[in-house]
Amino acid sequence: MPVARFWRDIPSRYNLYGSRCGSCGKIYFPTRHICPECRRSSIGRMESYRLSGKGKVYSYSVVHEAPPQLAVLKPYVVAIVEMDEGVRVTGQLVDVDAEKIDIGMRVEAVLRKIGDEGPSGVIHYGFKFAPVPD
């Protein structure tokens, strides 16, 4: 991924900034400039909104065929997380063994390395999800 594109996404990748429609209050992630429900009446009324980072596993799958960047993590888990704000966010699930994952399990966003541009390239950091310690 180009460095500039990643850089522009830092607020959403580090701190889960999405959007809230100023018209109907619906929350979106990633950022949207128009609310698909309110359409024209949402123009200019979309606000930056920070998700709490907390949610529950809605669905997940174990990835065995990984791109070279993620080979060292194989097998790893990718989950769709239903955030407490209602919006669904996809991300890797870490710090848990695949057989111990349950649908509905509480998770929260953590910041991890999500890749780099080779040994001399820039390192990309972004959110993943980890079980909430009880």
Partner 1 sequence: MEVGIVSYGAYIPRFRITPIEIGRVWGQDGKAMAKGLYINSKSVPSPDEDVVTIAIAAARSMMRRVDIDPADIGALYVGSESHPYAVKPSGTVVAEAIEASPLISVADLEFACKAGTAGMQAVMGQVGSGMIRYGVAIGADTSQGAPGDALEYSASAGGAAFLIGSENIIARINSTLSYTTDTPDFWRREGQPYPSHGGRFTGEPAYFKHVGEAAKMMMERMGTSPADYNHVIFHQPNGKFPQRMAKMLGFTDEQLSRGLLPPMIGNTYSGAVPLGLASVLDTASPGDRILMVAYGSGAGSDAFDITVTDTIRHFNLAAAPTVASMLENTREIDYATYAKYRGKILMKG
User: Contact positions toward partner 1, by CB under 8 A?
Assistant: 10, 14-15, 71-73, 94-95, 97, 110-114, 122-123, 125, 128, 133
Q: Per rule CB under 5 A, is residue 21 in the interface with Zn ion? A: yes
Segment near Zn ion (CB under 5 A); pick from 31-39, 92-100, 106-114, 117-125: 31-39
45 vs 50, which CB is nearer to partner 1? 50
Is residue 9 classed as helix, strand or coil in its secondary structure? coil
**Shortest distance in whole angstroms from residue 96 CB to partner 1:** 9
**Shortest distance in whole angstroms from residue 113 CB to partner 1:** 4
Is residue 99 classed as helix, strand or coil in its secondary structure? helix
The position carrying tokens 């830092």 is 10
Q: Per rule CB under 5 A, is residue 38 in the interface with Zn ion? A: yes
Token representation of residue 35: 């609310």
Exposure on the CB side of residue 76, measured as CA atoms within 13 A: 18
Distance in angstroms (rounded) separating the CA atoms of residues 23 and 52 = 21
42 vs 129, which CB is nearer to partner 1? 129
Residue 35 binding result from partner 1, Zn ion, none, given CB thresholds of 5 to 8 Å by partner type: Zn ion
Within the chain, residue ranges assigned H as helices are 3-8, 10-15
Is residue 65 classed as helix, strand or coil in its secondary structure? coil
